[in-house]
Amino acid sequence: MTDQAASLRVIRGQRRDTPPTIRTRQRAIAITGGKGGVGKSTIAVGLATAYVAAQSRTLLVDADFGMADLNLLLGVAPTRTLLDALDGTPVEDVLVTAHGITLLPAQNGSYALATMGSGAHRRTLDLIATLSAQFDTIVLDVAAGIGASQSAIAGAAADQLIVVNPEPLSMADAYACIKVLAGHQGVRHAFVVPNRVTSTAQGDDIVGRLTELVNRFLDVSLTALPAVPADPAVSEAAIAGVPLLAHRPDSPAARAITRLARALDTASTPDTRSDVARGFWRRHLSAGGESL
Ligand SMILES: Nc1ncnc2c1ncn2[C@@H]1O[C@H](COP(=O)(O)OP(=O)(O)O)[C@@H](O)[C@H]1O
Ligand SMILES: [Mg+2]
């Protein structure tokens, strides 16, 4: 068996061992990838919608603090944001619900949130940890970039999902993102989702090349999840301000994200409800002051 085969698991939605439904279980997933515009928010909202449809109580955190856009994708206009919660407003009063998803909103254009320091990140993780017992699924939509902020937030979740698209820069940034998560957050495993692919072969090629790089230089194993195709329905849904899976459930991208959610359900780190909170604490405390 080659190194690549040993450390790469491929999970395809079509395989017979993929369960037809999503079980309600506890999970905390950070959606990241280094580069902006690769589809992190699209996939974060898509997964949240799929888990809600499966009766999983789902918290979606807009961790792209200063360039927040999940409220737009969900078609809500929150009156309060994470900034208020950090200023002392009870976090429950900041949460908004749309399409069954509970959103912890950030604030687009907020310089204060975009540039907040390590103390504020720690308090943000504390707020999420406080909420975690009320939810089965927590999805963190992490900002682009590989700085201390993004890696501390991504590293706090039990699982990391790296979104990568066919552009060479995306591949380079995905690799950089995994490298930083390994070096600064102790991450030893990540999920990979090729997005905006025009063929299955293109998705396989992306995964193959990224795996080769990671195997060569990093002590991280990758699990490939079903790819999401390029699909105009994605931007149609964004313009409508309705989650793709609600707006165009039969579109190719929506179906692929549903397959992705099922595959991830099988493969995600199995947590009990209290372990979700513990997962946050473990990562978050082991990250130490420096990387927060
Ligand atoms: N599978 C896809 N097919 C077509 N367009 C997509 C797809 N995924 C994302 N997009 C588009 O790409 C842009 C960036 O997506 P977004 O989810 O906001 O990325 P990120 O959160 O990584 O910055 C958006 O305009 C979105 O509509
Ligand atoms: Mg985004």
Domains of the chain: 25-265 (3.40.50.300)
Tokens of 210: 């990224």
Tell me the pLDDT band of 232, cut-offs 50, 70 and 90. Answer: very high
CA distances from 206 to 203, 217, 265 (A): 5, 17, 22
CB of 226 closer than 8 Å to CB of 220: no
Ligand 1 site, CB within 6 A: 36-42, 195-196, 228, 230-231, 234-235, 238, 253
Which bound ligand lies closest to the C-alpha atom of 108? 2
Of the bound ligands, which one is closest to the alpha carbon of residue 35? 1
CB 160 within 8 A of CB 154: yes
In ligand 1, the atom with minimum distance to the C-alpha of 43 is 17
Distance from Cα 64 to the centre of ligand 2, integer Å: 7
Give the position, in ligand 1's atom list, of the atom nearest the Cα of 69: 18
Helix (H, G, I), strand (E, B) or coil at 56: coil
Q: Is the dihedral of CA 56, 52, 281, 105 positive or negative?
A: negative
Atom 26 of ligand 1, residue of closest alpha carbon: 235
Q: How far is the CA of 236 from the centre of ligand 1 (A)?
A: 11
Q: Kindly give the distance from the C-alpha atom of residue 130 to the centroid of ligand 1, in angstroms, as a whole number.
A: 31
CA 122 from chain center: how many Å?
19
Question: Of 174, 153, 273, 169, which is closest to residue 218 (Cα–Cα)?
Answer: 174
Cα angle value 193/198/203 (rounded, 5°): 35
Provide the token pair at 8: 């790469």
Residue to mutate (ligand 1; options 35, 49, 235; most atoms within 8 A of CB): 235
DSSP class of residue 270 equals: P
User: Which residue has the CA at smallest separation from atom 3 of ligand 1?
Assistant: 230
pLDDT in tens, 233-270: 999 999 999 999 999 999 999 999 999 999 988 887 76
Position 254: which residue type? A
Q: Which residue in the block uniquely carries the two structure tokens 């699982």?
A: 159
Describe the crossing of helices 40-53 and 252-267 by its angle, rounded to 10 degrees: 70
Mean pLDDT of the chain: 86
Half-sphere exposure (Cβ direction) of 194: Cα atoms closer than 13 Å: 27
**CB-CB contact of 247 with 222 (8 Å):** no
**Spatial contact of 273 and 136, defined as CB atoms under 8 Å apart:** yes
User: What is the DSSP track for 170-228?
Assistant: HHHHHHHHHHHHHHHH---EEEEEEEEESSHHHHHHHHHHHHHHHHHH-S-EEEE---E
What is the 71 CA–ligand 2 centroid distance (Å)?
A: 11
Beta bridge partners of 138: 28, 59
- pLDDT, tens digit (0-9, with 9 covering 90-100), for 101-136: 999 999 888 888 888 888 888 889 889 988 888 898
Look-up: residue for tokens 């993780």?
Answer: 125
Q: For residue 222, what pLDDT is reported?
A: 96
Q: Measure the CA–CA gap between 185 and 177, rounded to whole angstroms.
A: 11
Q: Whose CA is nearest to atom 23 of ligand 1?
A: 37
Ligand 2 centre distance from Cα of residue 107 (Å): 13
- Provide the total of helices (H) and of strands (E) in the chain, helices listed first: 14, 10
Question: 5 C-alpha vs ligand 1 centroid, how far in Å?
Answer: 30
Tens of pLDDT, residue by residue over 144-198, are 988 888 888 999 898 999 999 999 999 999 999 999 999 999 999 999 999 999 9
Please give the model's pTM, rounded to 2 decimal places: 0.89
Strand intervals (E) in 26-176: 27-32, 58-63, 96-98, 101-104, 137-142, 159-164
Q: What percent of the chain has pLDDT over 70?
A: 84
